[in-house]
Every structure is written in C-alpha cells, then in structure tokens.
Structure 1
Amino acid sequence: MVVKNAPEIPTHLTPYQRELFLLEHSEAVHDAVTLGRRSGFYNISAEIGVGNFCKVKLGTHVLIKERVAVKIVDKLSLDKRTQKMLFREIENMVVLHHPNIIRLFEVIEDEARMHIILEYAPGGELYQKINEQGKMEETIAKKIFAQITSAVGHIHSKKLVHRDIKAENVFFMSPEVVKLGDFGFSTVTEINQSLTTFCGSPPYAAPELFTEPSYIGSFVDVWALGVLLYFITSGCMPFQADSLSKLKQVIILGSFRTFDFMSSSLRHLLGSILKAKPVNRIKMDKLLAHDWLSSEPKCKLYPESNEKLPKLGKKAGIEASALSLQSLSDEKFRVVQYMQTELGIPDSEFLPVSPKSLSHESFSKESVLGIYRILMHRLQSELPLELSASKSTSSQFKDSGVSLRDYSASQSVNGMRRNSSSGRGSAFVNGNKNGMEKRRLQNQNASSKSCSIL
C-alpha cells in the first residue's frame, strides 16, 4: 500500500484557511474528490436514495459538522427539459425559508456533476410510515397536516406552486415534525394564472388535470393536500382503480367514502377540499383556518432572511468587524461573528453572492455562503451554532439543552461563548422511487410516481 505524503500545513492558518489549503494541496483530498467521497467542504458517505438522474448520499461538512443530503446529478445525462427543471428547482428552493420545508444550502458544480446540498431529514418518508404503521390518530394527524399546510401556504405566498404534493415528498425530522421536499415540478405563477404543463402523481391529481386544457396551480395543490389528508387519516387512498384510465374516471367523478372513525370536523374538511370543481374547492387561507386545525398552534415562521451574505468591507480604514457588524440584525451578527472568530473566515469573503448565479461565483465565496446558510438555519431552528464532532446529529438534537437564543448579541467578538452541545441533523432524501413502485401499486392504489399524467 502506497502512503502518500501529506502536505505540511502552515501553522498560522485558521480552520477555514486550513481546509482551503488541503483542498488545493492534499493528494488524499484530491483522490477523495475523484472517487466521489468529497465535494467542496463536504465528506460524502453512504447512499440514501436513487433517482432517475441522480443519487442522494449522506454528507458531513468538515468544518461545522452538519449532516446534509447531497443530491448528485449527472449533468451529462440530462436533456434540455430536465436541465431546465433542475435549475428551476434550485432557484425556487433558494427563496423558500420555512420550518417545514427542506432547506437548500449550497450547489457545487463541475463539468460533469452537480452536487445539491440539502437539509437532511433522518426520519424517512411519511408514505413509508403510513404504509408500515397504518393510519395516524387524528391528534397526531392534525400536527403533521398543520405543518404541511403551513409549508404550502408559504410556497404560495412566494408566488410558487409545488405541483407534486404527496406522502413520498414529506419527510420526518422527528416523530412529530415533518418537512416538505422535492420541488422538481414547482414553478412560479401569479394568482389565478393558468398553467398548461400537466405533471405530478396521478393518484393525487385534481380532476381538472384530466378534463381541462389548463389549470390554476394553487387549486391543484389544495386538492393534493386533501388526498394526502385522507391517506394520513385512513391509511388508504380516496380514489382507487386497477388502471390509470380507470383511475382518471374515478377522480373525475369525485366520489369517495368516509369512515365512522373520522370526526365530523375531519369529514367536513375532506369534503371541502375534494370538490371536483376547482372554484368550489376551499381556498388555502380558509383551509388553514378550518375548525379541524383550530387546536393546533400557528407555525412559528422564520424571520425573512436575505439569502446573500452580509456585505462587509472597510470604510475609512476601519475594519468591517468593528463597523459593519454593528449594522447587522441580531441573528446575522451572531452568525457572522461565529464565522469570523471561530472558523477564521476573513472579511474579504463576505461579499454579496447572487442565488441565481450559483455557477458563476468563485468556490470560496460559494462555500462561505453555504456555511452562512447552515448556521443561520441552526440559529433560527433554536439550535447551537457548534456541533459536537463526537455525536451524531440525531443524538445531539435529543441531548442538547442549549438554544442559540442563549447567545448574547452584546458579547464582544473575542469573548463569544462556545457550545459543544449539539444540533439536529437536517435533510431531504429522495428515496428509490423505481424500486418501491411495485409495492406502492399493491398498497390500495397509493402509488404516486411523479410523471406527466396525460
């Protein structure tokens, strides 16, 4: 076995500069990149999902120890339509910032591959949970559905529609916390704008997708929420058939049965959502305020956050850390302070980076943006900035007794406390949809493979 000489690392380097140095000079790191075990600042390990044009693997940020999902896309296998969908997915995810939506942290791209760095959700799919354990009790179903509807409300508020809401695209962070992911069919739309691209999953498709030349995206999302709610609370699908053509007819007819174990309020909500005529369907704001969900507390939304790095620089010879930091919000101040003092990221890296020109910025600026997004996400999730390297993120979340809110914004740059308590793993897993399809078809027509449905 040939042992390669490790480069001599200058002693004056900060943790951030050390990793940049290794990326440039370490043969071991170069080999890891070549073999697909490293991308930028992320070590890549086990495969956790497979898609048509991608693999999803577990990754860990070498500096801040965050576990992430790394969606690895083979760019050379994409046609123009699929490329357009991929870039649209990235652009849409960048602007979404909600506690129940999978977060996009960073995109690392070379000539052949694109690595999309996403929040990691360790609990698996909602579909798998219902398939294995059966329907949820209404008290739990309310908690889960309230989070999903809040996420969809946020999506619509950004003039976006999801168009592929289904149990396979809802992921568990913990037993009672879920996140909506997979924005491959999402698109920008104005209120009541007609759309003509027919996509999504047939069992969740609204009747107008089969009968009309165009549709309103928000109405289609609401219908899919109704199908999802029915599946969560009954363990089966509201519309069932043994072929796609028959399934279309059943959905167009719009008749479904309810069960005695369903509360009257739940039955009323399902009836308000699953109306064949879109204009008669409950609107999103009324859905969120429905009596069945009235006992659930409103989702605590994240403050609006600029996705660009805070712009720091020098003015009249005064260092940015002494001047520009004072103008930042409390959250951004704490994150930038940590990045500078604990990771050693210099002021020169804090320049604005456009989310829509991910492939046109230098690697170092992009890597700093990724660190910033992860740390902001930790803070807004009330988790510690620093994770313990000796614990898994899932166990850290359980053990942590310290909130990021405990950090005082009045602390001096050099006097900032450090926490070795933990954080939670956060991230999207795009499961092996092809391998699971046969089993899903057998589960009372719950199959929901995304595709063009006409």
Structure 2
Amino acid sequence: MNLPCRNAGNLSNITSSKHDEYSSSKTTGTRLRSFGPSSSQRSADPSFDVAMASGEGVSTRSGRNSEYRNWRTEVGERSSTSRKQTSSSDSVESATKKSPRTYRTVLAEHGLLVRDTLGSGSYSKVKLALHIKQNDQHNNPVERTYPDVVAVKIIDRRIAPADFQEKFLPRELETWPSISHPNIVKMLHYFTESHRVYMILEYIEYGDALRYVQNKGAVTESVGKIWVHQVTDAVQYLHERNISHRDLKLENMLIDQSSNIKICDFGFVKQCHDNDLSKTFCGSKSYAAPEILKGEPYPPKKADIWAIGVILFILVTGRMPFDETKGNSSLLAEHRKLDLQWPRGRRAVTGHCRALSLSCLTFLWAKRPNINQVLSHSWFKGQLKFSAK
C-alpha cells in the first residue's frame, strides 16, 4: 500500500490520549515519539482493540501443514478412538480443576490456531488466529465459519471492572454483531467460555490511521477526502439506526489492503435518538466535544460530528488541532476561539476542506451540523474512491 502523503514536518505535535475506559477525565496526554510500538512495548490500555494489527507473521496457506500438526499435538488428538472413551462426571470435573482450559485450547476447538499477539490491555488481549480446516466425526469437511485469518479479542472477566461488564460490554456485544457496513470492522462471532469472552473479528491488515500519519505524514487532501467520506458514511449508517459510536479517533480507523478505512472498537457504543442526552463522559480527550469537557449532558450523535472534524484536521495537517495537555478550561477556550493552524504553500488545503472541518467543530452542539448535512457538504464532490490498481 502506497498512498500519496504530505510532509507533515514535526510529527511530535501529534499526541495520543491514553484514557481510562470509563472516565474521559483520566487522560494523560502522552506524546508519541513513534507509531507502531511492539506489543511488548505498549502500556496497558483497556481500550486497545484490533487497531495496531500490522499483518506481520501471518502464515500463508501453503505453510500451515506443520502448524496444523503442532496445533493438533497441543490440544490433543480428537480422533474417533478418543470420542469413544467415557468417563464419569466426577472424574471430568476433577480433571478440569487440575488442568484449566487455556484460551488456545478453547479457540482450537473452534478451529482457530492462535499465532501472534496484536495487542494487550489491563484485562484484555487481541490475538491473530488462523482458521484451520476441520473434519467431523465421519471425516467429512466441516463448513468453514471464518475467513483464513481473524483477530480475536479476549476479555478476562475475573479482572475486568464490574461497571464494564454490567454496562459497556453488553452494549458492545448486542450492537456490534448486528452492524454490516463496508467501512466498519465486522464482528463475526462471540462466545463466553468459563471466565473469558471471545470476540472473533475481521482482521484488517495495515494497522490504524494514526500510525500511518506519523509514519508517512499528513495525507494529501484527495486521500483525506476519501477517508473522511468513508468514516462519515459509516457514521451515517450508525446514526440512522440510532447508534452513536462515541469513540471516533484515528486509532479506531483501520486501513485495509485496498487502502480503505474501517471503523472498529464499539466499547462506548450507545443506542440513542437525535434528542437523547447522555451523562456518560467517555472517549479520548483529544477528540472530546466541548459539552463533554464541561461535564454537561450531551447528544452523543453531535459528539460524533465533533470527532469527525478533529479527524479531518489531523489527516490533512499531520497535527492535533488543540493542545490536550492543557486543563479543561484552557482547552475549552481553544475550542471556542477555533484558531487552527492550517498548512500553507504547496501543502495548503482548499477552502471547502477547511470549511467542513470548522463546521464540524462548531462550539455549540445545537448549531453543529448533523451527519446528513456533513455528508452532503460540497467538499465531498468529485472522486470518492481509490482508482483500481
């Protein structure tokens, strides 16, 4: 994948807010010196999802025979002989207590061979897994359930906070599987086994847009137009179904092999109508609308619009629009003033581009455009798809 980019200059201006998953007030404003740290270098971040998947270490179909043999050895031969063996319920219970089932064993029984770690958080981890061909007890091929490669998010309920399990996780599991849009990562399946929840997700090869911007610089306006249009189209799909994402940011925008954007991570998703107000102040400080920073009840859909304005600015400039390291009062003053530093000269963007970003960043949510008004903006005229390779 080789998209045209601008030279963004000092990329240290881009910051990332590591936020506590249930309180947007707990932001740190840590500056990123590089994108794409390895999983061992990442700090614990409960909101981390599939976004840092890089695609490295994915085996091809031709290289899976030895892996398959090792996998069979690990989980035990489930041959016809073993199926004929019987044991009492007491002995099974005793064996289970002595040898607790690992997540690898559980996933293997679903035809998934765990390979690499894509990311980890304080009570969750994301694994890369290969879908292995399986046969039934009569040695007939079992119909394949998943693509060849998937991402698996595993949540440990023993250590996950109670409010997460009671409020946020049920919403995510109820909403995400029902969503079907070309620019939204698919949740293929989920299940609970013992103390773990497993989410089987579509695997997106090229990581997140935030990493891309720091590695390559600000994208050209033509690329930014396509990406922002894809995000806006996906958000329109959600809003029409009375769903608000509430955590739109570059880290939750993944790039697929065709250079298209897919939104992921529905940990803060909420069912809401246009006039519904929320009192849950969640998300990342860098993308948080003024009403959230003020701690006022807010319409979640209008908060999504603000985040789109921030996303647009970052993509075409390579920097954050506001200084998130400041206190809320100073940050709100920046929101109200809206004195953004746009690139000049050869890197300058068109007036239509600036106008849409500023419109989305309208301080008063009542005057902020809705998603249909954003999608019908004049900036989106012209080429909105990448040329076929």
Would you say 1:117 and 2:185 are equivalent positions? no
Instruction: Check the 8 A contact 2:126/2:153 in 1, yes or no.
Output: yes
Instruction: Check the 8 A contact 1:123/1:175 in 2, yes or no.
Output: no
Identity %: 29
Instruction: Check the 8 A contact 1:227/1:274 in 2, yes or no.
Output: yes
Give runs of aligned pairs for residues 30-429 of structure 1, distance below 5 A.
34=102, 36=104, 38-39=106-107, 40-63=110-133, 64=144, 65-83=147-165, 84-211=167-294, 213-245=296-328, 246-260=330-344, 261-297=348-384
Deviations 1:303-341 (A, max 9, x none): xxxxxxxxxxxxxxxxxxxxxxxxxxxxxxxxxxxxxxx
Comparing 269-278 and 195-204, the one that deviates more:
269-278
Instruction: Check the 8 A contact 1:32/1:38 in 2, yes or no.
Output: no
Task: Tell me how far apart the structure 2 counterparts of residues 280 and 153 of structure 1 sit (CA, whole Å).
Answer: 18
Residue identity opposite 1:61 in structure 2 = H
**Shift of the alpha carbon at 1:252?**
4.4
Task: Tell me how far apart the structure 1 counterparts of residues 122 and 336 of structure 2 sit (CA, whole Å).
Answer: 30
Residue identity opposite 1:259 in structure 2 = P
CA RMSD between the two structures: 2.6
Structure 2, unpaired ranges of 5+? 1-72, 82-98, 134-143
Task: Tell me how far apart the structure 2 counterparts of residues 103 and 165 of structure 1 sit (CA, whole Å).
Answer: 16
Instruction: Check the 8 A contact 2:285/2:324 in 1, yes or no.
Output: no
Query: Equivalent residue of 2:224, what SS?
Result: helix
Task: Tell me how far apart the structure 1 counterparts of residues 316 and 100 of structure 2 sit (CA, whole Å).
Answer: 46
**Shift of the alpha carbon at 1:133?**
0.8
Task: Tell me how far apart the structure 1 counterparts of residues 364 and 77 of structure 2 sit (CA, whole Å).
Answer: 67
Query: Equivalent residue of 2:154, what SS?
Result: strand
Task: Tell me how far apart the structure 1 counterparts of residues 131 and 100 of structure 2 sit (CA, whole Å).
Answer: 14
Residue identity opposite 2:113 in structure 1 = N
2:37 corresponds in structure 1 to none
Count matched residues: 280
Change (3 A) 1:150 1:278: same
**Shift of the alpha carbon at 1:251?**
2.7
**Shift of the alpha carbon at 1:41?**
2.4
Task: Tell me how far apart the structure 1 counterparts of residues 385 and 220 of structure 2 sit (CA, whole Å).
Answer: 20
Change (3 A) 1:275 1:195: same
Query: Equivalent residue of 1:107, what SS?
Result: strand
**Shift of the alpha carbon at 1:59?**
1.2
Query: Equivalent residue of 1:72, what SS?
Result: strand
Residue identity opposite 1:256 in structure 2 = L
Instruction: Check the 8 A contact 1:194/1:215 in 2, yes or no.
Output: yes
**Quick check: which one's helix share is greater?**
1
Instruction: Check the 8 A contact 2:218/2:314 in 1, yes or no.
Output: yes
